[in-house]
Amino acid sequence: MPDDILNKVISFISGDGDSGSDKDVLLKQLVKEISQNKYAKFYRARQEEVDSSLGQFFYSVYKLIYPLQVFLKDPAKEGRIKQIALEAFLDKRTMDLIKQLGPEGIAERKRNAGADLSKSLEEDLATLAAGFDNPKIATADKCYNLILSMKQFVSFKYGDLLSKFDPQITAGDFTNPPKLAPVDISIVSSDISSFLSVMPPLEGTEDWKSVFEILKYCKGGTDVIPLAQWTTLLASLKDIKYSKILDLIAKLASGNPILEVKANVPHETLSASWLEQKTAEVREVIAGIAGSQRSSKINLMEQEVFGSLPTTRLSFYTADKGRILLDKNLEEYTYAPALNHLLAFIEEFLSKEIQELCDILLVRGQWTNNTASRAMSDGFHVVVEVAKEIIQLDESLAEDANNGQRLRGALLRVDRDKSQVRHINSIISTVNEDALNILNKSVSSLIVVGKHFKMLMDDCEKKPFELIMNWKELNGVSRTPIVQRIGAAYKKVNYFVQLMQLETYQAEE
């Protein structure tokens, strides 16, 4: 039974069946309805043609809206119309805020603001978002969607449709009246359906006045077309629509008596998309400020820790070699600066001055808390021993090593075989992950060492001592006062930990 019903529906829509079918009856009924319509002149039933008067109707619409078509088709106008459509409904406070968050406003604030500029921009963004949460913004969206409905209506291909009534017609040329002739109804079937789908709202409650004020402003204070002409056109379209003459002709032309043409109604949230774009622009500025500040801090920390010492200690996992990969649109050696700094720190400080200090404190010191001394010792030795892992990672990228051979082969083939990109990035990603694990392990251990240096600095000043009982003896075996050495080591470790955190955080962004 269901299959029988389905076959009947398919047969009805496709037109299969005899001349006495339900579909045939309905199509004949359509012809009768058209003949009784106030716009019956649009269809010539005997010839199965649409009359030239229908072409004249489309021509009159085209002639009236043509200036709007040209104006709204200009890509340069689109952004301006969006801006004005939104700003027309914003209050002064919000407009002032938008100005402050514009390129010129931010540039001025950069010149005069201090370190709190990022915070100030974030606060302004929050205020702007709150300002967009009001009924006026909904009105702006509604107005802009009216403009979009107008644009799709005036952008309808009137010239293509009219050329079916008069092949000699020239799009946009209204100097000579066209010579319109009747047209076979099947030829204009899709055109009429398309026209119905893009007809503008005709309920009479739309704020077309605001639309035309916006267009006038965008045209430098002159009307694209007078509002009165548009209002007259809408009245004519409304009469046509409510007569259903075009719907009837579309059904008859398509051979589908149950055809329903759905209106294409724009639903763009202008305010939301604009706010999203503005937020992205300001956050990019904030990120740039944060990046600049972070770079300055990195340079400062690097100077505090290393001074003029060279810090590139690896042969393959370096920032320079990473940039070469990046220039080929491949992943770079993300943590190369941090890993080279870590090895330099181990070689120049941890394995020299700091190790000598730790030997005095951990070997000669009489600790009251063995757990504390063991934690400091373990932390120190973890970082010292990490040097071997760093060297191994670097050497794995040598040409005769596993990763190096795989990278070299893939890089030779990548220009002609783009599938190698994923293979190369996979290798580099694994190496970067290994580097990050080394860095995280080292930083965690250095934080422990630094924490104990701070505790020992405080303990030196206490009476009685709490952590180490023989500070006087330790002073005797140190070439400089022990508290000064601990203070210098704590400062060095503290700065270095900050450097590592800045570099790894920057790399992960």
Amino acid at 59: Y
On whether residue 303 sits in a domain, the answer given is no
- Among 198, 242, 214, residue whose Cα is nearest residue 72: 214
Number of H helices, E strands in the chain: 22, 3
Q: Are residues 143 and 210 in the same domain?
A: yes
Whether 147 and 76 share a structural domain: yes
How much is the pLDDT for 115? 61
Domain membership flag for residue 300: no
Q: Do 314 and 246 share a structural domain?
A: no
The pair of structure tokens assigned to 186 is 């099947």
> Which residues constitute the domain of residue 380?
309-508
Token representation of residue 392? 């191994």
Let me know whether 328 and 199 are in one domain: no
Residues 51 and 168 in one domain: yes
pLDDT of residue 407: 92
Domain count, the chain: 2
Assigned domain for 282 exists = no
With respect to residue 298, please indicate whether it lies within any of the assigned structural domains: no
Shared-domain flag, residues 342 and 248: no
pLDDT score for 508: 52
Same domain? For 244 and 350 the reply is no
Could you tell me if residue 294 is inside a domain? no
pTM of this prediction? 0.64
DSSP state of 364: I
- Both 249 and 314 in one domain: the answer is no
Would 278 be classed as within a structural domain? no
Q: Phi, psi at residue 204, to the nearest 5°?
A: 90, 0
Cβ-contact 262, 197 below 8 angstroms: yes
Strands (DSSP E) contained in 282-437 are none
Intervals of the chain under pLDDT 70: 1-20, 113-115, 506-509
Same domain, 184 and 313: no
